[in-house]
Chains A and B, each alone.
Chain A
Amino acid sequence: MLHYALFFIFAALAVGGALNLLIQRHPISSALSLVVVMGALAVEYLLLGAEFVAAVQVIVYAGAIMVLFVFVIMLLNAGEEERAGRSRVALLFGLPGLVLFGVLISWALIRINPASNRVAIGALHGPPDQIARLLFQPFLLPFEVTSVLILIAIMGAVVLARRER
């Protein structure tokens, strides 16, 4: 019961944040809505028992990547978005089509729902030490490759954002 309530509250928060990101015209409001979405998703991860991933989501995604976005928006200070050309056809066929497609997918997903398909609150514990064991034993090669990737990204960002002399 509590699990349902928590899931729906934070799911509504996430979807509301995503819709607000689309509706808002100023990029800073969109950025803050995205932070709300990420926070709501972190709580959803906690409901699924992924405590390490939830903490890393808040630290890395909401606390570093989105800060970078907010930083760039404040630095560039480009102002509100202009209205692009609206297409009547897109609205007429797109929105009902989207709703129909969504209902179809939801029905298909819920139909393959045997009794064993339920996820208990915190069913799988995601403790950091077991994730670390997985990172350093089966997944060692992707781990080392991503560290090289980050190094390349750092060098690329420094070179690209440099002012021309």
Chain B
Amino acid sequence: MDTTAFVLVSAAKTALFLAILLGVVAYTVLLERKLVGRIQNRWGPSRVGPFGLLQPLADGLKFIFKEDVTPPYVNRPLYLLAPLLSLSLALTTIAVIPVGGWIDIKGIRTPVQITDVGVGLLVVLGITSIAVYGIALAGWASNSKYSLLGSLRACAQMISYEVALGLSLIGVLILSGTFSLRGIVEAQQGTFLGFIPNWNIFRGQIVAFFVYLCAAYAETNRVPFDLPEAETELVAGYHTEYSAMKFAMFFMAEYANMVTVGCLATLLFLGGWLGPVFGPWWLQAILPVFWFGLKVFFFLFLYIWVRGTLPRFRYDQLMAFSWKVLFPLAIANAVVTALVVALKS
């Protein structure tokens, strides 16, 4: 492909992925409110549009028209930078996430992914590491006790669970042999025993899946690990002093992180876009994306289900869980996987 075609195709893919991601984030908020409502035996939003489907539009308008209050003694540059940093990093990980196989349109062959980097998994981990700054700076710049406490707790929680997150991926990497996300999915092709798909979760990574799930819940500051932003504990934690659009940015960043973590879990453990593919050429291009979407939806459903069901961890219980339970489990998983692979070959 020559340069102009490549640039145009990449720009089109970027715009499409961003639009879809923002739409998914908006509707994940609605999904959460409806699901948590049903778990609590009530309807959730149901008045705006049929079944409440236009609720995200109403929410967006509300955030735009709300009064933007800036408290007087904040550190202005950092106060403005923190939500920008959170949102932009949350939207950046979609750049390396492959959603489907290859697409052939008029002789242009392009992967359904913005770019495939040789170290794709490390890029996602790096972006998650930098996202801690958004929360740290939000708490610091707000010049308020509750914000600072909330943000310090959130940062300590995030960096502790990042360790468990990274270590749980070692088993998957040993089985796949590459850091590239497309390569990891392609290593899960085929079936064994005739009908069980060759996904990593069935190839012995169930413990790693559990560790990844817990670490992901803690990384995105969701129940049962959401003490840093719990409304009943710390006013609202690190985003106490933020209103209107800046709060909306933190909100969107949290849900975008949820979606990203779900995408990553499907790629690493559930075989990405692999699934039965049949039919004419346009169906064959769309079906992998459909399977990917289905698996990500399953993850989001699991997230919201856990949110509606479990109570919240206390802070010391949270940190003890990360360092005393998840960390040894992840290391044990890595050791056992490495032993099995070494003994087999």
Using a CB–CB distance below 8 Å, which chain A residues touch chain B?
28, 32, 35, 51-52, 55-56, 58-59, 62-64, 67, 70-71, 74-75, 127-129
* B contacts with A, residue count (CB < 8 A): 27
**Is B181 an interface residue, CB under 8 A from the partner?**
no
- Distance of A88 Cα from B128 Cα, bound (Å): 46
Is there an interface contact between B136 and A71, defined as CB atoms closer than 8 Å? yes
Stretch at the interface among B148-156, B218-226, B272-280: B148-156
Chain A hits for B140, CB < 8 A = 28, 74
Is there an interface contact between B148 and A74, defined as CB atoms closer than 8 Å? yes
Is there an interface contact between A59 and B129, defined as CB atoms closer than 8 Å? yes
B101-118 vs A, CB cutoff 8 Å, 1 = contact: the mask equals 000000000000000011
Chain B hits for A28, CB < 8 A = 78, 140
**Is B72 an interface residue, CB under 8 A from the partner?**
no
- Distance of A75 Cα from B139 Cα, bound (Å): 12
Chain B binding surface SS class:
helix
Nearest residue in A to B151 (C-beta to C-beta)?
A74
Chain A hits for B122, CB < 8 A = 52, 55-56, 59, 128
Q: Given A52-B122, A55-B122, A67-B136, answer yes or no on A62-B129 (Cβ-Cβ < 8 Å).
A: yes
Point out the residue from B118, B152, B177 that lies within 8 Å of A75, measured CB to CB: B152
Listed residue (B125, B126, B159) with the most chain A CB atoms within 10 angstroms of its CB: B126
Chain A hits for B133, CB < 8 A = 35, 67, 70
**Is B63 an interface residue, CB under 8 A from the partner?**
no
Q: Given A55-B119, A64-B159, answer yes or no on A74-B129 (Cβ-Cβ < 8 Å).
A: no
- Distance of A62 Cα from B150 Cα, bound (Å): 22
**Is B80 an interface residue, CB under 8 A from the partner?**
no
B180 CB to nearest chain A CB (Å):
10
Is there an interface contact between B156 and A63, defined as CB atoms closer than 8 Å? no
Q: Given A28-B140, A64-B159, A74-B148, answer yes or no on A51-B117 (Cβ-Cβ < 8 Å).
A: yes
**Is B123 an interface residue, CB under 8 A from the partner?**
yes
Chain A hits for B123, CB < 8 A = 55
19 A-B contacts (beta carbon < 8 Å): A52-B122, A55-B122, A55-B126, A58-B129, A58-B130, A59-B125, A59-B126, A62-B126, A63-B126, A63-B128, A63-B162, A64-B159, A67-B159, A70-B133, A74-B136, A74-B139, A74-B140, A74-B148, A128-B119
Chain B hits for A64, CB < 8 A = 129, 159, 162
Chain B hits for A63, CB < 8 A = 126, 128-130, 132, 162
Chain B hits for A62, CB < 8 A = 126, 129-130
